[in-house]
Amino acid sequence: MKFYFLLIIFITLLNFSESYSQPVWEKTSGTFTKVNQLAINHKGFVYAAGGDGIFRTTNSGNDWIQLPVLDFKNIYYYSIICTKKDNIIAIYDSGIIRSSDDGESWHVLNNNFPTYRFGCLGISDNGRIYIGYDKLFFSDDEGTTCLEKDFGFRGIVSISTFRNKFIFIGTDHYGGSYFSNDTGNTFKQLPYFVIEQESTNSAFNNKGDLFINLNGYMGGDATYRSIDTGITFFKLASLNNTNMYFIRIDANDKIYIASVDKGVLISNDNGDSWTLINNGLNVNYPFYATDLCFMDINTAFLVIWGTGVFRCSNLTGVDESITNTNNTELLNITPNPASKQIEIQFNLENQSLVNLNITNLLGIEVAGIIDNVYYEQGNSSITFDTGNLSTGVYFCTLRTNAFARTVKFVVVR
């Protein structure tokens, strides 16, 4: 009797904490408002670059200072990153600058770039830096030497990489989207467009799933997901006609987007369902959020153009129960809570490769149950022994060629 009483209390407290610990955004102290991009180094220093110059905070946004960068009041900065070696690299109208002392001093990198503007920066796991606007450049020495790769794409606005090998390039104004699976030696153009395509946003998660959003100037926006590293793509019905400014993915593979008419949304189930996290934000149309970056699994910084930089310090309070929305027909776990074993049931509309794993609250995989195995159409069931799992909350994720589903379950002793 005591066991069931404690179990009821545990579940009640769990549901209570999930329902009422929603994230709250608060504006940081900076008075600058024209920010394009944020970057965070390993020390936790946050950098903001844009039309007002480059700014830095060393205390999570409680205080900001403007950095003495070139003619720092009259130069427009398009993008900024912190490298694997904690150098800071930013691009402006005529080239690249770098700081090796946390932004106290800066040096122009003389790479003889043409006078056209640059649009974005990207960095791979091994530290290779990608620079893009009307051509693609890359550097393996922190920007000192940049090599040009002219594949014919123009207006590069998005660069995403995964495990050094896979690169996605998004362009604006009908330029298209391009994908490379050989470290950028060759690219293929993806056959996805929207009417009057204005920009392309992209991001990889930790498993290599790629998300791209095609932003149409007159609407008709579309978002695609690939769970086989760029081989096939499926359109996400959950984001039909959602005009967004960015896609960002945190260390736990939660996906964040900023929508022009909805504000900030988060998905805990690989993009199948979304919930708003706008507490503390004044979401008026058009809501123009330009960037989001993460200090850790709890803390993120959000830029709203014309308003400033906001901070959220309780991201783990996002209600995980949304991952179960409409999932029970495709993935179900019984019993839940469980003490000894669970039965995992899933249904496939078509034959498909299947991956099934279990992760803990930190996003760390604790069990790989199915690894790229073909399953026939219909219902399937697997019994999993939970004896090696500690008491707590876990997530079971099913991935197929067509969809991904996540269901939360609890292990008790």
> Over the chain (413 residues), what is each successive 10-residue block's mean pLDDT?
45 40 85 93 93 93 91 79 93 87 90 63 92 87 88 85 91 81 91 69 90 73 86 82 82 89 88 88 82 90 94 71 43 88 90 87 82 90 92 84 77 85
CATH 3.40.50.300 fits 327-411, yes or no: no
Break the chain down into helix, strand, coil percent, rounded to 5: 5, 45, 45
Assess contact for 392 and 409: CB atoms under 8 A. no
In this prediction, residue 329 carries a pLDDT of 47
The pLDDT value recorded for residue 110 is 66
Residues 325 and 273 sit within 8 Å (Cβ to Cβ)? yes
The pair of structure tokens assigned to 151 is 């594949």
Determine how many CB atoms are found less than 10 A away from the CB of residue 12. 10
> What is residue 80's three-state secondary structure?
strand
**Distance of alpha carbon 149 from alpha carbon 41, whole angstroms:** 28
Q: Where in the chain is the domain with CATH 2.60.40.2550?
A: 327-411
């776990």: which residue's tokens? 333
- Work out the burial of residue 134: count CB atoms within 10 Å of its CB; fewer than 13 is exposed, 13-18 middle, 19 or more buried: middle
The model's pLDDT over 309-368, given as tens digits with 9 standing for 90+, comes to 999 988 865 544 333 333 334 788 989 888 899 999 998 888 888 989 898 876 678 899
Query: Can you read off the two tokens belonging to residue 352?
Result: 């498909």
Record the tokens describing residue 57, joined without a space.
């905070």
Instruction: Report which residue type is found at 228.
Output: D
Q: Which CATH class is domain 22-318?
A: mainly beta
Distance (Å, whole) CA 145 – CA 138: 8
Beta carbons of 312 and 39 less than 8 angstroms apart: no
CA distance 133 to 173: 12
**Residues of each domain in the chain carrying CATH 2.120.10.30:** 22-318
Q: Are 166 and 181 in contact (CB under 8 A)?
A: yes
CA distance 362 to 326: 24
Strand-pair partners of 183: none
Cα–Cα distance measured from residue 138 to residue 228, given in angstroms and rounded to the nearest whole number: 25
d(CA 324, CA 96): 46
Side chain identity at residue 86, one-letter code: D
- Give the per-residue pLDDT at 216: 67
Nearest to 251 by CA among 210, 300, 218: 300
Amino acid symbol at 169: I
| Structural Rg of the chain based on CA atoms | 22
Sheet holding 136-139, edge to edge: 118-123, 129-133, 136-139, 147-149
- Start-to-end Cα distance in the chain: 14
Q: What is the DSSP secondary-structure string of 209-234?
A: -EEEEEEETTS--EEEEESSTTS--E
d(CA 308, CA 31): 7
**Structure tokens that stand for 76 in this block:** 């427009």
Q: Do the beta carbons of residue 28 and residue 62 sit within 8 Å? A: yes
Strand order of the β-sheet with 210-216 is 197-204, 210-216, 222-226, 234-235
Q: Could you count the other beta carbons within 10 Å of the beta carbon of residue 191? A: 8
> φ, ψ for residue 191 (rounded to 5)?
-85, 50
Find the helix or strand (DSSP H, E) in which 308 lies.
strand 308-312
